[in-house]
Amino acid sequence: MISYSLTHPVLLRALAESGHGTQILIADGNYPHNTGAAASAVRVPLNLRPGLLTVDQILEVLVEAVPIEAAAVMATADGSTSEAARGYEDVLGPGVPFTMHERFAFYEAARQPDVAVVIASGDVRQYANLLLTIGVRTEAAQ
């Protein structure tokens, strides 16, 4: 038994096989998990039921597991930042740059070959999708 916050074996393996520049999609419950990313991406189903697990809950564990270099979110229909995205900015902090894509541009970004992990959440909020780019480990993190 490991003594670590992240214990999901499939997710641990997928993250261990990822490196700098690899992207992780944490998708909300409305996202097309099977068709909305490259076929080569590892799918991790954490969508137990509507509302569980949320993108926020998954993000809280991921920030302890991998360095995050950048993030991208889906803009709302009127082009504004969703409430969910504002929460992600709070968790990731000011050092992580955010990009906002309109819906179809986000889908296109999420289908790129650098997206190696797709985590299906049970988040029922619209526009709660989050695309993370893994950064580099610093000497202090070793």
Q: For 114-129, how does the pLDDT look when each residue is reduced to its tens digit (9 = 90+)?
A: 999 999 999 999 999 9
Q: What is the pTM of this model?
A: 0.94
- Higher local confidence (pLDDT), 139 or 121: 121
- Measured CA to CA, the distance from residue 137 to residue 142 in angstroms comes to 7
Average pLDDT over residues 54-60: 97
pLDDT of residue 142 exceeding 60: no
pLDDT of residue 141 exceeding 60: no
pLDDT at position 140 is: 65
Tokens of 24: 């992780």
Q: Which residues contact 26 (CB under 8 A, 6 or more apart)?
A: 55, 58, 59, 62, 119, 121, 129, 130, 131, 132
Angle at 70 between CA 67 and CA 73, to 5 degrees: 125
Going by pLDDT thresholds of 50, 70 and 90, the confidence category of residue 103 is very high
Cα 34 from chain centre: 15
Strand 23-27 with 115-120, pairing: parallel
pLDDT tens per residue across span 6-41: 999 999 999 999 999 999 999 999 999 999 999 999
